[in-house]
Amino acid sequence: MSVRRSLPRELLHLAWPVLIAQVAVMASGVIDTLMAGRLSPVDLAAVGIGASIYATVFVTAMGVLLAITPVVSHHYGAGRYSEIGADVRQCAWLALVLSLAAFAVLKNPDPLLQFSRLTPEVEFKVRAYLDGVAWAVPGVLFFRVFFGFTTGIGRPRPVMVLNLLGLILKVPLNWVFMYGHFGVPAMGGAGCGWSSAVIMWTVATLSWLWCRRDAEYAPYGVFARFDPPRPAALRELLVLGLPMGATFMVDVTAFTFMALFIARLGPETSAAHQIAANVAVFVFMVPLALGNATGVLVGQALGAGESRRARHAGLLGLAVACGIAAVTGAAIWLGSGPLARAYTPDPLVAATAASLLAVVAAYHVADSVQAVMAQVLRGYKRATAPMVIYAISLWGVGLGGGYLLGLTDSFGPPRGAAGFWIAAVASLLLAGAGVLAYFLHISRQTIPAPATTTA
C-alpha cells in the first residue's frame, strides 16, 4: 500500500508534515502568550500557569492514547491492515473514559493550585482559564486517536492540514473571547482557554469526517462496524499505553511544578519563566516531529521483521535531531535579548527572560536526544524502562534539584528561576543518556514480527 523509500526519504516524508502540524499547535500557544502578555503580567502569568496545569492533565491522557501509533505501525509493517480499524475503535473507548477523567480534574484544580501560592487575582484568572480549556479535552483526545492512527500508517498530512486550520482560527477566536465581541463577554487571558475549546471540537470533527470519506482510509475499516469495549484489545493498548502515559506525566509534571514553584517568586518572574518555557516548547517541535517519524519507521520495520532497518532508522533520527538542535540552541543563545523583548514590553520581565533563554539553549540540545530516543523505544513497544529512567531523572534531579537550587540556600544563595532551569538541563542529560543506552542494547537483538491480539 506504499512505495518503499530509503530511510532518509522515509524520514523526511513522515517528519515534515508532523513538524508543520506540531509547529501550528505550538504557534497557538505562542499566540496565547503574546496576546496575554499585551494585556498585563498578571494575565500572562495566569495563562502560563493555567496552560501548565492543562498540559499536565492532557499530556498524561494523550500518552496513553498514543499507544495506538506503535500498534498501528506494527500492523502496517506486517500487512495486517484489517486489524488496524479494530484497534482504532478500541482506542476511541479509551479516549472517552480519559476525557471524562481529565474534564473532572480541570474543573477541580485545587490540589494543583495549592503548590503555587498564587495571589487572589492570579488564581481567579487561572481558574477562569481552566474552566474554558476543560471543554477542549474531549475534542483534543479524540483528535489524538486520529493522529496516532494516520501517522502509524504513514499519512501525517491530514493532521498537518487540520492543525493549520486551527492556527488560522486562533487569533480571531482569541480576539472574540479575550476582548469581548459578538455578544461574548471580555474574558481577558481566560479567553484563550475558551477559544481552544472551540478550535479542538472543530478539528476533531473534521478529522473523523475526513477519515470516513477519504477512500485511502477504507482498507482499514475504521467505520466498518460498531465494537463494544473488548478486554483483550484494551489490555494490549493499556499494557503499552499506561507506562507511556506515566512517562508523559513525569515529563509534564516536572515542567508544571517547576512553573508552580517559580510562581512563588512573583508575577514578573513567573511571566519571564513562561516566555522561556514557551520558546523551549516551541523549538522542541523539531525533535518531537523527527522522533515521531522515526518511531513510526521503527515500528513498521519491526512489524515486517526487519530489525537492522529499525536500528538504522533510530540512529538516523538521532543524528539529524542533534545536528538541528545544535544550530537552534546557538540561535537562541545569540538572540536571547531581542527574543525576550518580542514577548513583552516590560523591561524587568524581558531582562529576566533573556537570562533564562541562555540556559534554554543548552536545555534544547539535551531535550532533543531524549525526545527522539523515547519515541524510538515506543516503536519497539518498550515503555516501562523509559518510565523509570524519566521518573528518576526528571523528578529526582530536575524537580528536586531545581527546588534546592532555586528556592533554598543548600548550594549557595537561591538562584530563583535560573536554578530550576539549570537542574532541568542536568535531568535531561541524564534521561537522554539512559534511554540512548537502552536503545543501543535492545536494538542489537533480532526481534521477530510480534504476534497480534485482535479486537
Rg (Cα) of the chain, in Å, rounded?
A: 21
Position 209 scores a pLDDT of 95
pTM of the model: 0.78
Q: Tell me the residue range of the domain where 375 lies.
A: 7-442
Residue 51 is assigned to a structural domain of this protein: yes
- Does residue 454 belong to any structural domain of this protein? no
Residue 120 resides in a domain:
yes
The pLDDT score that the predictor gives to residue 1 is 46
* pLDDT tens digits in sequence order for the chain, 455 residues long: 444 567 888 888 888 888 888 888 878 877 887 788 777 777 777 887 888 788 778 888 888 888 888 899 998 888 888 888 889 999 999 999 999 999 998 888 777 777 666 777 777 888 888 988 899 999 999 999 999 999 888 888 999 999 999 999 998 998 888 887 887 777 777 788 889 999 999 999 999 999 999 988 988 888 988 889 888 888 888 888 889 888 888 887 787 788 878 888 887 888 888 888 888 888 888 898 899 889 999 988 898 888 899 999 999 999 999 999 999 999 999 988 888 888 878 888 888 888 899 899 999 999 999 999 999 999 898 988 999 999 999 988 988 898 898 888 777 788 888 889 999 999 999 999 999 999 999 988 755 544 444 33
pLDDT of residue 455: 37
Q: Alpha-carbon dihedral of residues 30, 36, 42, 44, nearest 10 degrees?
A: 0
Best CA proximity match to 329, nearest among 284, 373, 292: 284
Task: Output the pLDDT for position 121.
Answer: 76
Please give the pLDDT value at position 320. 93
C-alpha to C-alpha distance for 254 and 423, rounded to whole angstroms: 11
- Maximum CA extent, the chain: 64
Q: Is residue 450 part of a domain?
A: no
Give the pLDDT of residue 269: 84
| pLDDT value, residue 115 | 64
**290 within a domain of the structure (yes/no):** yes
Which of 354, 289, 349, 300 lies closest to 325 in space, CA to CA?
289
Give the bridge partners for 412, in sequence order.
410
Q: Please provide the distance, in angstroms rounded to a whole number, between the alpha carbons at the two ends of the chain.
A: 22
Q: What are the backbone angles phi and psi of residue 335, rounded to the nearest 5°? A: -105, 25
Q: Residue 303's pLDDT is what? A: 86
Query: What's the pLDDT tens digit per position in 99-120?
Result: 999 999 888 877 777 766 677 7
> What pLDDT shows up at residue 198?
93
Q: Is residue 17 a part of any domain in this protein?
A: yes
For 411, what's the count of Cα atoms within 13 Å in the CB-facing half-sphere? 14
In the chain, the number of structural domains is 1
What phi-psi label fits residue 231: left (phi over 0), alpha (psi between -120 and 50 degrees) or beta?
Answer: alpha
- Do the domain assignments include residue 1? no
Q: How many helices (H) and strands (E) does the chain have?
A: 18, 0
Decide if 236 is inside a domain.
Answer: yes
CA separation for the pair 200, 195 (Å, rounded)? 9
Do 131 and 107 touch, CB atoms closer than 8 A?
yes
